[in-house]
Amino acid sequence: MEFEWLNSRIADETIELVLLFNEEGSILYGNQTAAARLEYDKDKLTKCSMSQIFRQDFPNSPDGFITFVKKSMKGVSEMAMYRSNNSCFSVNVRIFPEDEIDAYLLLAEDISAQKNMNMRIRELKEKEKENNRARNEFTANVTHELRTPVNGIKGHVLELLEEIEEPDQKKTLDIILSCCDNMYSIINDVLDFAKLESGKFVIDEKPFDFQEMMDKVIATHSAVVNKKELRMSVDIDEKIPRALIGDELRLTQILNNLLSNAIKFTTVGFVNVVVGMTRRVNDEVELFFMVRDSGIGISEKEQDRLFQSFSQVDASITRRFGGTGLGLAITKQLVEMMHGDIHVESEKGKGSTFSFSVKLKSEQVLDDKQSQVLVNWSEYVKEESGQNVDRLMHFGEAENREELKKRMDKLVLSIEMGAWDKAELLASTIKTLIESGDDDLKRQVLRMEMAIRKSNYDKSMDMYGRLKDAITERIGDLWNAE
Ligand code: ADP
């Protein structure tokens, strides 16, 4: 045929190894590439048998050989080909029957380079994992050891504070104390991060009082919120059972991270916490949290990097606000360990909303009929994001009146029970609710707040009564309204 020479040229030049063999396993033809890669002269190759070249794969017995050939015709098989010097390399093999000449055509692609590369990558990954493990272990040990001297300094400063009278010296000691606290929280962040990275972090599930936990979280931040004159409101779904089972400490940590960021990056306006229950099935409860602020906001581009470790939106932030850039990376991992998700919605200059879900267990198990998916998570976000916190802030309007009554009732109960932290928190929310009222009213609430801060029962009750009268005078009796 006119182009026969072309076929043999292609067969010789192709990078695949080409072998033609018969039913007995004798090689009838080998192309140039096969001869070169197997290190045989071309004519010597045709004196070899298939079970010699494929000594691991092709069986020696005639029956076994042909069964194996037929089985291998189904697709691509990975095999080893042996060179004349007995070394071998990996190939991907395809076999086709050539019925006209009672033979089989074998095409083999050398994959040893690719396999070596994969092996090398695996080795490098293993090595990197080992290095990371060693680094994380080192970091965990060092940071753990650092806690002891920081505690030591703090203990001695506290002792000195009791002895020293001089105001300037007291102030210096206070600064040292707050530096110790900062250092302690950085150490804790680094320690948590190292533990999370090395997979040594475990969630410790125990029964806890959800309402009490939320009160504690809010109380932790109320002093800074007051100092910065921000409005803080908290909205917790009343359907959430109080008795839950989960890692209270880590849930607190997540909320504290988000709240302290919200407060840190907000100079005017509000910080708002919303907690809803989105799902309750048998003993499982899915809670949904939102922490909103009217602070500096985060641009879309910056939001992408937010949950990565050591990421701060820009270097000037570190100088202005401090921080390690680990908080959100830890938060994200903790949320995921509680089978949840975390998201951010934000606009530069307009504030941010961080929302996350977690799954906890409820002590009260519901039967199938009572179990329900309450709200779709994304619908919940949409619904809540559309709400304006300021809506509650217009003194005397329907929603504000309702909220005010609720808080005032809780406040009197807290004063009666001597729950001063809670009372202080409630007083601070009441203050924000009557913010658009007149100056006299505002002074009234401040006086009440002072009495509560001093844990003075009589004065607090007296001021509570006066505030109640003042509110009634302005917007009518909320307690006996029709
Ligand atoms: P850090 O410990 O440094 O605060 P985080 O991981 O908690 O680290 O936060 C990373 C960065 O994300 C912060 O430095 C800040 O730039 C940005 N950020 C986080 N929360 C907010 C927020 N509520 N408003 C504006 N920027 C925020």
Q: Are 95 and 104 in contact (CB under 8 A)?
A: yes
- With bands split at pLDDT 50, 70 and 90, how would you rate the model's confidence at 323? low
* Cα–Cα dist 341/125, whole Å: 28
Compute the CA torsion angle 140, 142, 146, 147 (nearest 10 deg): 20
**From the CB of 353, is ligand 1 less than 6 Å away?**
no
Question: Among 81-90, 244-253, 429-438, whose mean pLDDT is lowest?
Answer: 429-438
Compute the distance from residue 363 Cα to the ligand 1 centre, in Å.
35
**314 CA from centroid of ligand 1 (Å):** 10
User: Are 293 and 262 in contact, with CB atoms under 8 Å apart?
Assistant: yes
Q: Does any ligand 1 atom lie closer than 6 A to the CB of residue 414?
A: no
DSSP 26: B
Mutate to test the pocket of ligand 1, among 305, 318, 328 (most ligand atoms within 8 A of CB): 328
- Kindly state if the Cβ of 324 falls inside 6 Å of ligand 1: yes
Q: What amino acid occupies position 389? A: V
Ligand 1 lined by 327 (C-beta under 6 Å): yes
Q: What pLDDT, on the 0 to 100 scale, is given for residue 130?
A: 87
Residue-wise pLDDT for 141-168, tens only, equals 888 888 888 989 999 999 999 998 899 9
Residue 186 in contact with ligand 1 by CB distance below 6 A = no
Q: Which of 66-70, 126-130, 363-367, 450-454 has the lowest mean pLDDT?
A: 363-367
Q: Give the mean pLDDT of 29-37.
A: 93
Helices (H) and strands (E) in the chain, counts: 17, 13
Which tops the pLDDT comparison, 227 or 263? 263
- Please tell me the distance between residue 154's alpha carbon and the centre of ligand 1 in angstroms: 27
Residue nearest to atom 13 of ligand 1 (CA): 312
**Which residues are within 8 A (CB) of 356 and not within 5 positions of it... i.e. 6 or more apart?**
254, 258, 288, 289, 331, 335, 340, 341, 342, 343
Tell me, in angstroms, the distance from the centre of ligand 1 to residue 239's CA: 31
Whether 306 is in the pocket of ligand 1, judged by its Cβ within 6 Å, is yes
pLDDT classification of 223: cutoffs 50, 70, 90: confident
* Residue 252 CB contacts under 8 Å (≥ 6 apart), including other chains: 213, 216, 217
Atom of ligand 1 nearest to the CA of 293: 23
- Look at residue 88 in the predicted model and tell me its pLDDT: 94
**Between the CA atoms of 359, 360, 366 and 370, what dihedral angle is there, to the nearest 10 degrees?**
-30
Closest CA to 37 of 96, 92, 108, 104: 108
Q: Residue of the nearest CA to atom 8 in ligand 1? A: 325
Kindly report the backbone phi and psi dihedral angles of residue 457, in degrees, each rounded to the nearest multiple of 5, phi listed first.
-65, -55
Element (DSSP H or E) covering residue 225: helix 210-227
Per-residue confidence band for 313, with pLDDT thresholds at 50, 70 and 90:
low
Q: Answer whether 313 contacts ligand 1 (Cβ < 6 A).
A: yes
How many CB atoms are closer than 10 A to CB 426?
27
Tokens of 233: 């409101």
The HSE-up count of residue 137 (CA atoms within 13 Å, CB side) is 6
| 322 CA closest ligand 1 atom index | 3
- Report the share of the chain in percent with pLDDT over 90: 41
Query: Which residues in 4-20 are b (16+ Cβ under 10 Å) and which e?
Result: eeeeeeebbeeebbbbb
Q: Ligand 1 centroid to 148 CA: how many Å?
A: 28
The protein residue whose alpha carbon is closest to atom 18 in ligand 1 is 261
> Does any ligand 1 atom lie closer than 6 A to the CB of residue 266?
no
**First-to-final CA distance of the chain:** 107
Closest alpha carbon to 428 in 235, 212, 228, 231 = 231
CA of 62 to the centre of ligand 1 (A): 72
Q: Is the pLDDT of residue 379 over 70?
A: no
Residue 127 has pLDDT above 90, yes or no: yes
Ligand 1 center–CA 260 separation, angstroms: 9
CB 330 within 8 A of CB 196: yes
Residues in the chain: 482
Q: DSSP E strands: which ranges in 316-365?
A: 342-347, 351-362
d(CA 106, CA 38): 14
**Which residues of 139-205 form beta strands (DSSP E)?**
none
Phi, psi of 88 (to 5 degrees): -135, 165
Q: Flag whether pLDDT at 244 surpasses 70.
A: yes
What does the pLDDT average to over 269-292? 90
Ligand 1 pocket, residue 269 CB under 6 Å: no
Residue 373: the pLDDT is 53
Handedness of CA 375, 379, 382, 386 (dihedral sign): negative
Q: Please determine, for residue 119, whether its predicted confidence score (pLDDT) is greater than 50.
A: yes
157 lines ligand 1 (CB under 6 A): no
Q: Report the distance separating Cα 422 and Cα 193, nearest Å.
A: 32
Look up the pTM and report it. Answer: 0.57
> Is-contact 334 254, C-beta < 8 A?
yes
Mutate to test the pocket of ligand 1, among 312, 320, 342 (most ligand atoms within 8 A of CB): 312
**What confidence category does residue 387 fall into, taking pLDDT thresholds of 50, 70 and 90?**
very low
Answer yes or no: is the C-beta of 262 below 6 A from any ligand 1 atom: yes
Give pLDDT, residue 319. 46
The residue nearest atom 14 of ligand 1, judged by CA position, is 312
Provide the pLDDT for residue 68.
87
Share of the chain above pLDDT 70, in %: 90
Eight-state DSSP code of residue 325: S
Is 298 touching ligand 1 by the criterion CB < 6 Å? yes
Residue 7 confidence (pLDDT) above 80: no
